[in-house]
Structure 1
Amino acid sequence: MSEESAKNLKALREKIDDIDHKILTLISERANCAQQVAKVKKTFNADAFFYRPEREAQVLRSVMDSNQGPLNDEEMARLFREIMSACLALEQPIKVAYLGPEGTFTQAAALKHFGQSAISIPMSAIDEVFREVEAGAVNYGVVPVENSTEGVINHTLDSFIGSPLQICGEVELRIHHHLLIADTTKKDKISRIYSHAQSFAQCRKWLDSHYPHAERIAVNSNAEAAKRIKSEWHSAAIAGDMAAELYSLEKISEKIEDRPDNSTRFLIIGNQAVPASGDDKTSIVVAMRNQPGALHALLEPFHTHNVDLTRVETRPSTSGTWNYVFFIDFIGHIDNEDVSKVLVEVGRRASELKVLGSYPKGVL
């Protein structure tokens, strides 16, 4: 390296050190402000909500809109996500229940949404996540609701029917599956593969091509699959990055999902209604009377008031044979005038209408 290059490098490093010091000072100032916010909230309301989904969505959108690079918008938002998570933990650490065990994609979704400073608590079933939130043992829950390859998770939809909980947010996670082995596994002797049934379905073509004769054993979660193979020399598991890291497994094949756009949408559930953020979704469940034209009558108000539907799912009703309930997602907040008009008209035509929540559209 020439003397001039060394001099330039030294100057750049000194500039980086100076910038780092400024960043440190500003983050500390932000953390101090967060503590002051907590004190003000407690003064007015001892049961104040410290986490505001609409406020955080607005901040992250502003960061992405203002970003000028060279880091891309999502990377910059992730950095701010973690700063916000750490600052919020100073006010009051958030406890989040998720469909476990540790190392699942649902835990990854929870940490993506709430940041690494959140306290994530694994539950063994979706209805247990709902119960923990309802009981107040945790602040929020995270549950999967639909996969781009395999469709909706019916257990999650059914859990909403009898629950008083609100949807407070959503997060979408790109799902990458890897074939994992332990340090004791003999690669050329793999005759058994463990995974969740959904993951087997999402990797069906790849497995048929590469391991057509291996026994496929479905377990409760990919994390459980990863844990099992630690004691078996002839087995492999399909799981994600978090499980691979948690159980110190080797990836012998990466991204084996059949569709490269494979992703899962997760819902954040809580006890509070969320004010409008400016870019929101609303979810409802509707029971219609069993008569000709019921579906048309249900959907007509959305067309009339130009409200965009994003999802319509049908589930059998528990109230009678051949009756159905519809789960509907659409753009807008219940405080919006057009949405209010739609809900009034749908309510007149339906036998039952329940608003599951209005919440910010997923930012990250």
Structure 2
Amino acid sequence: MWQFQVQEPVVTVTEVGQGELPVGLARLIHINALACDHNRVLDYRTKQLEVRLLASYLHTAGAGGPLRVDHRAFTASSRHIRGFVAESSGLGMLTAAGEALFAWDNTAHPLHSFDALPGSMTGYQNDGIRPDLLFHLPGGRVAGEARGRHRRTKTLLPKRPLAEQKNRLQDLARWSAAHQDHDYFMSWVWIGRSGVAVDIFLPQDKRWDGALDVRWKRQSQGHQWRFPMHERRRRPSEDPFGQMPTDEPEPPLIPPSATDTLRTMLPVPAAARTQPMADPLSRTGRLVQRLYDTAPELDAEFVGNPVRGTWVPADALGPAQHEVLLAVLAKQPPPQAGVRERLARAEGRFDACLDGRLLTVVRSVAEPPPSWQDLEEVLLSPA
């Protein structure tokens, strides 16, 4: 984990600690089930295929354990499949970092994508550089950026931040300055033969110190890295199918803001400027309803609430290690328990995530499926 401080014209990055970041596979699958184009046709069957594929590449050593990947299958896969797995891992790590570092709780505080902000949230630019997710915390909004890369070397974590990370921190620093020093952080996932790891870059601010797990903190100051906020640089070598570039050579040097300037100068049609945007909260509701309408019926109820969906084995690469339930409730459930309480109640038997009407459960094939009463006891807050 790194902390950075922006004091124009210099950005200083300091290593502050290391530790394990619990990642719920159910939460990771859940986040990606909702990460789709709200304007396209949506079908439960296609979402289930994506879930089966993602869960075949990724697994955890017990509920909330470190995230792992089938590296041999990952490196043998096509570029767009690697990009899908990598981008999904990045979003999962970003939300896990928000939960672990800021005590963000999805049951109490909303989470928005910068691609679909509610109309009430004015003041954010719709073009140019911008982060991925917007966390709403008691102390204010924090923007989150998810990035990543495949590491071919035996050492999973680099000893110091690389050029691509520096470039993105520069981008985010400029974005923050353009939005009245908006708070932000970045997670950068590394996928390699020894597993999955993440670099987390936090702003150097006393407000975050109390949120950091003491086991992550170093006894003494670690490596320090300084670079100018504005400089000539190489264009980031991004994978067109996801944010997971390979170790291919980078393109020639370009002026630092050429791409951003081009984006902001492109004319916007008058119709696009005046057409009202639907509130993403209502669009998410329609998305979940479409999932419910196309999901197979399930002879079950969750606190008296009809449920649709089915279990699917994660067996796209061979015998399944776990199965996943992607289920949709007929209506909004009662208040839900927080992530830490949820994991403690499950006691490693299964991993479950309930967010609104969407329910995701991951269990080992060696364990029997949890009963609906088990799920209610784990997921719902006490009356």
Structure whose CA Rg is larger:
1
Task: Write 1 or 2 for the structure with the bigger share of helix.
Answer: 1
Question: TM-score, with normalisation over the residues of structure 2?
Answer: 0.21
Question: TM-score, with normalisation over the residues of structure 1?
Answer: 0.22
Relative contact order, CA 8 A, sep 6+: which one is greater?
Answer: 2
